Structure 1
Amino acid sequence: MQNTRTEVVVVGAGQAGIAMSEHLGQRGINHIVLEKDRIAERWRTGRWDSLVANGPAWHDRFPNREFGETAPESFATKDQVAQYFEEYAAQVGAPVRTGVQVTRVTRNEGRPGFTVETSDGTIEANYVVAATGPFQKPVIPQIIPEDAPLNQIHSSDYRNPGQLPEGNVLVVGAGSSGVQIADELHEAGRQVHLAVGPHDRPPRRYRGQDFCWWLGVLNKWEMSAPPAGAEHVTIAVSGAHGGQTVNFRALGSKGLTLVGRASSYSNGVLGFDDDLAANVARGDANYLSILDEADAYIERNGLDFPQEPEARELGELPECITDPLSELDLQAAGITTIVWATGFSVDYSWLEADTFDERGRPRHQKGVGQEAGIYFLGLPWQSRRGSSFIWGVWHDAQYIADQIGIQRAYAAHQPIAANALSAAATA
């Protein structure tokens, strides 16, 4: 692949890169998709064994292909999702080159475009799309020293209960990953503590419709920015067990010990913020607000949907919420493993461009980078709330392809010579 030239280099062949390739191909724009591993590698090896998609198969897909043997209301396994993207890449003829790592991207001097240095040679391109998504660099808060006598892993390294050493487990983080991992460990017979921070928790289904449908008809997927104060609030939702509403009251009542956010550590004792009850109450309020909006939508549109009054029965608050722990001696509690379900940060160290803030996060408008010719795809809230979902990234890719097309048209424009304009004016 020495000294290759193309119009667009797309970095990453996950859901974002494949969507980008489809839209570029439809516009006849020459491009190459580079992937350091395999297509959809994060779905293959960057998730735990039992993971399923958090949205039903009818919703969490690209518009031009359904999931094969997965029923529309069911939740595809991670392997089925990976296979879906591999088949989709073949369907759209995506020019993917796997096993090629991008090591450096620099703007050319004195001529248009960029030089893309890779593990398999150099590529010249007019435009670069960073489609590596948000799950690049696992984040573990600097609370417990690495040399503490504990097995500490990030949720991206968790696979199954049998992988962990004997003993009890603390899971830190109550978004979708943390909740599902904690519940799986509890079902496997482990004693589990779960640190719960601020979160939203929509109903999995309500009055016959999945929450993905409700957020659609209520126009919540199209929100362009999170509400003030909710920029870093996670969503607790799960497709596990056929899809169930996440209920922290129920989790506490069935034996998981809920605690507040982990905040300090000293001599083997982990301290927690006094925010557990408030976080659970906020999640409950979010849940009930969606039920209220759904009921109003049904009445407003005269829909004959089944009643579901039991959905408003939240259950009793377990003792771990009403009388929460402020600290925990990890050794005395028999905790041998901490699973940090605390998210990811981005890593664009390979992209040398003037389009990042002081924390290395992209400066962009709907994926259009601050530096001309650089684009991003797959970011949370890139253009809307749904941007980080499979279907959302497809629509964002369509927009980016349009923007590249616009820039190509400007670059191709040849101005009329000044003397020709003068002659035309006097004719």
Structure 2
Amino acid sequence: MTFSLKPHYSAVVIGGGQAGLSASHYLQKHGIDHVVFEKKTVAHKWKNERWDAFCLVTPNWQCQLPDHPYDGDDPHGFMVKDEIIAYVDRFVKKVNAPVLEGTSVTSLEKIGDLFRLSTSAGALTADSVIIATSLYSAPAIPRAAERVPDDILQIHTADYRNPGQLPDGAVVVVGSGQSGCQIAEDLHLAGRKVHMVTGNAPRCARFYRGRDVVDWLADVGQYDITIAHDGMTKKKHDTNHYLTGRDGGRDIDLRKFALEGMSLYGRMEGVSGGRMLFEANLKDNLDNADRVYNGINALIDRHIAEKGIDAPPASVYAPLWEPESEPTELDLKAEGVTSIIWATGFSPDWSYVGLPIFDGTGYPMQRRGVTGIDGVYVLGLPWLWTWGSGRFLAVGKDAEHVVNHLAGHLEAAAQPALKQAASA
């Protein structure tokens, strides 16, 4: 869509990913004039920050962007990278949002009843703002990386594409969340020696008692639980469970990898003198991941029993491998390490937001995207409202809720002026 930037809009959306485009979809339905600012290009992360073997972790049927559900012939499969990009591109074309790509928002502040935004395309004002830039703005790499020997290649998961891009030799993967574990598997399957540095990430079975675990959890109602439920407020900081949709889907079991030659370590403590140092918590990390795995399966067992469902028998995962010791250091040169992949997540960038909407952890204070400042909203964050809030499953539902609230805010703000005009 080609257009000229106006000096004022009823609404401004910051971020042209799935959340920002979903917001634009509903803003258009309400007939609300708006603009979407995208720092890079629409759907940039899907196209430029995923590795070649990337695929969905949740089944295709969970792709539920607004008026754009998955329409392929494999709802219980897992789209690979090119298929995901095609799905998103069809959504982009369908929404036809008023997006200014390559445009950064450098400041957002409140001036009287309006919001003033400074952007790389110029300044403007708005009656309302939706911040849809997610938590994944910039790769987060620990300062310890500065002490890694210069002859070792270091990249973040955002820049990893395939084993062939790395020099010959062993690879250290730091971080056992979804990306770290899937990339470690990618390297392992390619025959590379992998040193896996674990953390507190939980894991989940892919299939259990005859079905995908995601299907069971949907039936149980896990995807309907909101952040407002007791004990759920900390969920927004949780690490995602690791498993994969690769080759039709399977568990990721680091213990199995260890039996096949992968070396495992506890959480990284630092780097010193050419050595990577670790906490002695490998066993705890593996045990805690398995505890979550078995706990999810037990939840499914209870559901099956309560509903009298005919299903294959229950089972409990038993460790395939136990560490004989707790390794506390890795001599990078002696072990032939030539590459380190930092699977250490991302950091949000809200530095431009000059509004008091954040809590002590830097997370926006909100209720399903509605902040404490009238006319300011956030979208696309993990556990904004439900488990699916930051994903294709529920980002559209959250966007609809936010835009409905925004429309009500604009209508209420316009009432005094309408009454004054009517009485004149």
TM beyond 0.5 = yes
Where do residues 373-412 of structure 1 align in structure 2 (5 Å cutoff)?
A: 373-412=375-414
Matched residue, 2:204 = 202
Residue equivalent to 2:95:
92
Alignment-derived partner of residue 39 in structure 1: 42
- Does structure 1 residue 316 correspond to structure 2 residue 317? no
The Cα offsets for residues 353-412 of structure 1, whole Å up to 9 and x where unpaired, read as 222346643233322233332211111121222212211211211221122122112202
Code of the residue aligned with 2:40 in structure 1: it is D
1:272 is the counterpart of 2:278: yes
2:58 corresponds to: 55
Q: Paired residue for 1:260, among 259, 266, 283?
A: 266
**1:363 is aligned with what amino acid?**
M
In 2, Cα distance between equivalents of 1:402 and 1:3: 23
Give the AA of the match of 1:88: F
For residues 325-366 of structure 1, the C-alpha deviation after alignment (integer angstroms, 9 at most, x for no partner) is: 121111111111111101111101222222234664323332
Q: Does 1:156 align with 2:189?
A: no
Aligned 8 A contact 1:169 1:192 in 2: yes
- Indicate the residue corresponding to 1:304 in structure 2: 310
Deviates further, 178-187 or 354-363: 354-363
Is the CA contact (8 Å cut-off) linking 1:198 and 1:234 kept in structure 2?
no
Paired with 2:29 and 2:410, the residues of 1 have a C-alpha distance of 15
How far 1:34 sits from its partner (Å)?
Answer: 2.0
2:288 alignment counterpart: 282
Q: Aligned with 1:76: secondary structure?
A: coil
Q: Deviations over 1:75-132 (max 9, x none)?
A: 1122322322221133234323333332332323x4x222223233333211111111
- Write the deviation string for residues 27-78 of structure 1: whole angstroms up to 9, x where unpaired: 2222222223322110000111211111111113325323354611111122
SS in structure 2 opposite 1:177? helix
Between the aligned partners of 1:12 and 1:46, the Cα distance in structure 2 is: 16
Greater CA drift, 189-198 or 238-247? 238-247
Q: 2:368 aligns with which of 366, 369, 378?
A: 366
**Aligned 1:115-126 pairs, distance under 5 A:** 115-126=116-127
Aligned residue in 2 for 1:425:
none
Structure-1 separation of matches of 2:129 and 2:234: 33
- Aligned pairs for 1:173-192 (under 5 A) are 173-192=175-194
Letter of the structure 1 residue corresponding to residue 142 of structure 2: P
SS in 2 for 1:328: strand
Which of residues 6, 28, 33 is equivalent to 1:30?
33
* Residue 84 to residue 233, structure 1, CA distance change in 2 (3 Å): closer
Distance 1:391 1:212 in 2: 12
Q: Which amino acid aligns with 2:295?
A: S
In the TM superposition, residue 313 of structure 1 has moved relative to its aligned partner by: 4.3
Q: Which amino acid aligns with 1:187?
A: L
Cα distance in 2 for residues equivalent to 1:330 and 1:19: 46
TM-score after normalising by structure 2: 0.90
Q: Aligned residue for 1:424?
A: none
CA contact (8 A) 1:194 1:259 kept: yes
Residues 290, 317 of structure 2: 8 Å contact kept: no
| SS of match in other structure, 1:312 | coil
Separation of aligned partners in 2, 1:55 and 1:83: 17
Q: Give the distance between the partners of 2:195 and 2:297, measured in 1 at CA.
A: 29
Q: Give the SS at the match of 1:337.
A: strand
2:11 aligns to what SS in structure 1? strand
In the alignment, what sits opposite 2:252?
A: 246
How many angstroms does 1:147 deviate by? 5.9
Q: Which runs of 5+ in 1 are unaligned?
A: 421-427
Taking the aligned partners of 1:19 and 1:175, their CA distance within structure 2 comes to 27
1:146 deviates by 4.9
Q: What is the alpha-carbon distance in structure 2 between the residues aligned to residue 78 and residue 174 of structure 1?
A: 21
SS at match of 1:270: strand
Identity of aligned residues (%): 35
More deviation in 227-236 or 172-181? 227-236
Larger mean Cα displacement after TM superposition, 129-138 or 86-95: 86-95
Given that 1:3 and 1:124 are in contact with CA atoms closer than 8 Å, whether structure 2 keeps it comes out as no
Separation in 2, partners of 1:159, 1:98: 25
Q: C-alpha separation between the residues in 2 aligned to 1:220 and 1:213?
A: 10
The structural deviation recorded for 1:183 is 0.9
Secondary structure of 1:252's match?
A: helix
Distance 1:392 1:335, change over 3 A: same
SS at match of 1:143: helix
User: Once the two structures are superposed, what CA deviation does each residue of 1:200-246 show, in whole Å capped at 9, x if it has no partner?
Assistant: 21211212322222222223232417668874444212212221112
Counterpart residue number, 1:330: 332
Tell me, in whole angstroms, the C-alpha distance in 2 between the residues paired with 1:288 and 1:147: 37
Q: 2:76 aligns with which of 73, 79, 100?
A: 73
Counterpart AA for 1:141: P
Partners of 2:273 and 2:232 in 1: CA distance: 39
Alignment partner, residue 416 of structure 2: 414
Q: How much has 1:162 moved relative to structure 2?
A: 1.3
**Partners in 1 of 2:370 and 2:184 — Cα distance?**
38
The CA distance in 1 between the partners of 2:346 and 2:317, in whole Å, is 34
1:8 lines up with 2:11 in the alignment: yes
**More displaced 10-residue stretch of structure 1: 395-404 or 221-230:** 221-230
Taking a change above 3 Å as real, the CA distance of residues 128 and 227 of structure 1, as seen in their structure-2 partners, is closer
